[in-house]
């Protein structure tokens, strides 16, 4: 059974994950408009992943006897200065999600809610992976530089990274 405080906080996380899904979908649309097909595919996969995170929270709340609330979502931005600043926004948002997950873990400890604490460990690991991935992308973008063909090479690198992430998701779990 969830405390009301924990239920409210988990529902707030649902809203944050839902916003991330819409934000990344808006970014995918912008990438498509800019001819960045590899980046668009990456952002669509990220959007789907965030929606899955939201659904996982939703299921957990209902499984624990709480009421999961489907949030109203604020419209995300639809225009970005460039691909570099867009990926900085992604990284900043992932850090915000990590902070929120850490707050949930702290609350679950304070509330002596061991089920939620255990449930949230998946998110702790997921956020560690997400932040590392976004830092790697930013590092690659810096290595590619700002030359005349840099957008082409950035997009190809993002496409390659996306394919690696898809392969990881499809790999059988390690025993």
The domain total for the chain is 1
- Whether 174 maps to a domain, the answer reads no
* Whole-number pLDDT of residue 116: 98
Is residue 46 in a domain?
yes
Q: What angle do CA 27, 30, 33 make, to 5 degrees?
A: 155
8 within a domain of the structure (yes/no): yes
Does a structural domain hold residue 94? Answer: yes
**Dmax (CA) of the chain:** 58
Q: State the burial class of residue 59 (Cβ atoms within 10 Å of its Cβ: 0-12, 13-18, 19+).
A: exposed
Tens-level pLDDT at each residue, the chain (175 residues): 899 999 999 999 999 999 999 999 999 999 999 999 999 999 999 999 999 999 999 999 999 999 999 889 999 999 999 999 999 999 999 999 999 999 999 999 999 999 999 999 999 999 999 999 999 999 999 999 988 899 999 999 999 999 999 998 888 877 7
Domain of 29 in residue numbering reads as 4-169
Question: What is the pTM for the complete model shown?
Answer: 0.92
Which CATH number fits the domain that encloses residue 65? 1.20.1260.10
């Amino acid at each position: 059974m969830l405390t009301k405080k924990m239920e409210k906080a988990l529902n707030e996380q649902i809203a944050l994950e839902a916003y991330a899904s819409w934000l990344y979908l808006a970014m995918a649309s912008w990438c498509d408009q800019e001819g960045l097909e590899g980046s668009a595919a990456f952002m669509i996969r990220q959007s789907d992943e965030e929606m899955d995170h939201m659904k996982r929270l939703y299921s957990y709340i209902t499984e624990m006897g709480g009421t999961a609330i489907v949030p109203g979502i604020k419209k995300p931005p639809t225009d970005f200065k460039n691909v570099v600043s867009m990926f900085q926004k992604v990284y900043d948002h992932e850090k915000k999600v990590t902070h929120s997950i850490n707050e949930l873990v702290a609350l679950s400890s304070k509330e002596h809610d061991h089920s939620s604490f255990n449930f949230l460990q998946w998110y702790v690991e997921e956020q560690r992976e997400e932040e590392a991935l976004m830092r790697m992308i930013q590092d690659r973008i810096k290595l590619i530089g700002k030359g005349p063909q840099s957008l082409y090479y950035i997009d190809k690198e993002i496409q390659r990274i996306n394919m690696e992430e898809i392969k990881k998701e499809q790999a059988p779990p390690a025993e």
